[in-house]
Amino acid sequence: AVDSVRQTGSTMKPIGAYALAIEYQYLNYSSGLYDDYVFMMPDEDKPGQLKEWPRNYVGAGIYSQVAVPLVHAVKRSLNTCAVRALKMVGVDASYDFLVNSLHITSLTEDDKDYGPLALGSMTHGISPLEMAAAYAIFGNGGKYTTPHCYTTVEDSSGEIILEKKVNSVQAISSQTAYIMNRVMTQVLNSADGRGTGQGLATNRMESLGKTGTTSDDKDHWFMGLTPYYVTASWLGYDDPATLTVRHYATHPPTVAWRKVMNVSQRDLEYKSFDVPNGIVVRDFCVDTGMLANDNCPTREKGYYTEDNMPDVCQSH
């Protein structure tokens, strides 16, 4: 949990691509991202030939070739959309944010690329501890706090003999953190049932998160948040080997997280996440990602800031 580093798969998308895309106002909660391959890459299995990249993990890698609202791209964990978001942010800005704002220590210069920063295929990986600390920003108003297991140690007379230095800094705005928070609730509680962690929300308590799976199913992750806890859950072998459990309805890290949270929060008072000033709630058109008008056939609730809202839908 502290020392082992493993590739993170799609749990990288919120911290490596989407949060900064919203923070920099390249995207908003419902911005459309085109679901199709982004690059042609050398095919290592067929020397001299190119292949479409990235492929989507879900849906047998098929591209829908339509614009997908950001919130739907996250809940369905579409690789294509995450790479497009990272293209807007830029790999240098993403890498700098992960290393200098979220204090991830295991990235290398070779990880300044779309695969590592958007899809979690980095050289070494990240420890569950550092992933938990990074995800805490989405439940803590955008603040990053040094992970620690003690604050002070005192002797028998009450004199402090050890004191942990804990820093807390604003990594992203509280508004961006809350918008990403609302985006990731859809992973567990989607109205259309397409969230990759659908049906695995905790009892009694508001909850959200992001699933992650690496190449050849060697690592399964779930990053979960409630108003009380942020948790990194990982499943895999010490010596990486393919895991046999693929179906998300039985996704073991997510199931384990839910069971642990249900016990640990059983006697806690109900809480919800704080809503920062400046959040605007409006319905958006699911077809276009724009603000819904009276004629839009399908609409959902969206979360925005006044200076980063879509225009009103003109297609209906």
Concatenated DSSP letters of 33-50: EE-S--EEEE-TTSTT-E
Q: Is the pLDDT of residue 250 over 80?
A: no
What mean pLDDT, rounded, does the chain reach? Answer: 95
Find the helix or strand (DSSP H, E) in which 187 lies. Answer: helix 174-188
| Window from 60-69, 78-87, 202-211 with minimum mean pLDDT | 60-69
The model's confidence at residue 246, banded by pLDDT at 50, 70 and 90, is low
The pLDDT, as a whole number, for residue 298 is: 95
DSSP annotation of 204 reads S
Q: What number is the average pLDDT over the span 258-282?
A: 96
The pLDDT, as a whole number, for residue 272 is: 94
The pLDDT, as a whole number, for residue 304 is: 98
Q: Is the pLDDT of residue 249 over 60?
A: no
pLDDT tens, 114-146?
999 999 999 999 999 999 999 999 999 999 999
Amino acid, single-letter form, for residue 314: Q
Q: Which 3 state secondary structure label does DSSP give 138?
A: helix
The pLDDT, as a whole number, for residue 45 is: 87
Considering the entire predicted model, what is its pTM?
0.94
Q: Which 3 state secondary structure label does DSSP give 89?
A: helix
- On whether the CB atoms of residues 57 and 77 are closer than 8 A, the answer is yes
The pLDDT, as a whole number, for residue 215 is: 83
The model's confidence at residue 248, banded by pLDDT at 50, 70 and 90, is low
Strand runs (DSSP E) across the chain, as ranges?
32-34, 39-42, 50-53, 67-69, 143-145, 152-154, 160-163, 168-170, 208-213, 219-225, 230-236, 279-285, 299-305
- Cis amide leading into 54 (omega within 30): yes
Q: Is the pLDDT of residue 203 over 80?
A: yes
Q: Is the pLDDT of residue 275 over 80?
A: yes
Q: Is the pLDDT of residue 279 over 70?
A: yes
Q: Is the pLDDT of residue 59 over 80?
A: no
The pLDDT, as a whole number, for residue 218 is: 93
The pLDDT, as a whole number, for residue 247 is: 58
Q: For a pLDDT cut of 90, what percent of the chain falls above it? A: 89
